[in-house]
Structure 1
């Protein structure tokens, strides 16, 4: 069943440049597999196993990072500063079985995405 399964690594720097998440020449999201995280973003979903739902779940987990609106609660975003995020390894866990969907009980999966995040604030540079 899983003969053709292959593991691929996400090159976060290339992905950030592709979607335009670069500010003043520096990305505002960086990857460090050994990040000492301040908080974790966790999103969960129950669905029929269609890959588009997994894609949507990962996007929803990272959406606030892209918009620069995610922050560590004890430290609100200071005036005149922008957040720079360091994320660790993104963990995706899936459990397959019978799930309760809006249309009834069907075979499906429960899936969760966990992203460890550390945030630092840098001064906002406005071009002259």
Structure 2
């Protein structure tokens, strides 16, 4: 049996950026219950943005929705869309997010600070 059937709140909180689309220090903090969280990121990057998203962290949690809500609350003053809270974009540095996540001792967080931004950087190189 899949752990997600037993625990409806289990999943991954993801922290992603897209510097080519939104500039530096803009991240999306979201949640997915998919077994492969990268599928969700690929979906987001294939729709309405010119470049793919970079993943800074996938954080597995048995209470992923609660963790996501706590992070949204923590960075609420850095929320980009102050009107629609369903828009999960924040103007915050990766370093600041990483420091906050260090407070959660029970989580295993594999953090990637520097976005690869492969397509964006290739596009910039082709301009020069």
Smaller-chain TM-score bracket? under 0.3
TM-score (norm 2): 0.28
TM-score (norm 1): 0.28
Which structure's residues are more often helix, by fraction?
A: 2
Which structure's residues are more often strand, by fraction?
A: 1
